[in-house]
């Protein structure tokens, strides 16, 4: 019962406090400052085209005076998911992280950036962009994982995954983190996990292995191109 109450509260919070956007003036100011900061970040940290070092985004701003190293994990997960669908390396620059930040400052940012971005806004983004996306809550996910065939079907049907999890399953005070998981050479790799972007032999192992098993999933999305 405690799990249900906690998850329900978190989801309701994101729905209620992600409807007010950041003002146009702030969005424009942030975007102008973020362009140069992003170019510097790309030169220093963007290995393989994926964002793996959120802590280095100190010079980028997301929302009302919050630095992106603190609150941009959902947008990073979105960026990395989009990156996973690019097959031609020359097209990587077509994804603009500053533009994504600006877009969600207008619609989807939570409490002006104090609590990151609504996962439901990410879901809507992929839907509007023409992707096939399916989401499961923790309890739904556990029911799927209880049956090997259902779990394998979900892992095989979708190409990329985004999951939001408590950093500590025992308390929400340790905050929440959102990450992208990609399939690479038969492995499932978590990007921007603060643990060296670790790889696992299954999606289930990746989700349960984050924070050495001390975390717990809140919601997971499977994404593929239609």
The string of DSSP codes covering the chain is: -HHHHHHHHHHHHHHHTSSSPPPHHHHHHHHHHHHHHHHHHHHHH-GGG----GGG-TT-B-SSS-BHHHH-HHHHHHHHHHHHT--SGGGGGGS-HHHHHHHHHHTTBSGGGTT-B-HHHHHHHHHHTTEEEEEEEHHHHHHHHTSHHHHHHHHHH-SEEEEEEESSTT-GGG-EEEEEEEEETTEEEEES-SSSS-EESSHHHHHHHGGGGT-EEEEEEEEEE-
Domain ranges (residues) in the chain: 11-114, 125-225
Residue 188's pLDDT is 97
pLDDT per residue rounded down to tens, the chain (226 residues): 355 558 999 999 999 999 989 999 999 999 999 999 999 999 999 867 899 999 999 999 999 989 999 999 999 999 999 999 998 877 777 899 999 999 999 999 999 999 999 999 999 999 999 999 999 999 999 999 999 999 999 999 999 999 999 999 988 889 999 999 999 999 999 999 999 999 999 999 999 999 999 999 999 999 999 8
Residue 3's pLDDT is 53
pTM for the predicted model, two decimal places: 0.95
């Amino acid at each position: 019962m405690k799990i249900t109450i906690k998850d329900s509260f978190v989801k309701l919070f994101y729905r209620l406090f992600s409807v007010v956007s950041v003002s146009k003036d702030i969005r424009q100011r942030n975007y102008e400052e973020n362009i140069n900061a992003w170019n510097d970040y790309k030169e220093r940290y963007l290995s393989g085209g994926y964002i793996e070092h959120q802590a280095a985004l100190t010079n980028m701003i997301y929302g009302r005076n919050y630095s992106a190293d603190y609150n941009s994990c959902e947008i990073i997960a979105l960026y990395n998911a989009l990156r996973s669908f690019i097959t031609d390396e020359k097209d990587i620059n077509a994804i603009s992280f500053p533009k994504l930040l600006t877009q969600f400052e207008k619609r989807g940012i939570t409490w002006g950036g104090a609590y990151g971005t609504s996962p439901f806004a990410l879901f809507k983004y992929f839907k509007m962009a023409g992707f096939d996306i399916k989401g499961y809550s923790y309890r739904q996910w556990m029911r799927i994982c209880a049956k090997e065939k259902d779990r394998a079907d979900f892992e095989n049907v979708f190409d990329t995954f985004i999951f939001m999890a408590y950093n500590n399953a025992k308390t929400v005070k340790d905050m929440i983190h959102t990450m992208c998981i990609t399939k690479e050479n038969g492995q499932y790799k978590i990007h921007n996990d603060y643990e060296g972007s670790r790889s696992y032999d299954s999606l289930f192992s990746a989700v349960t292995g984050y924070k050495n098993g001390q975390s717990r999933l809140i919601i997971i999305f499977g994404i593929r191109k239609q």
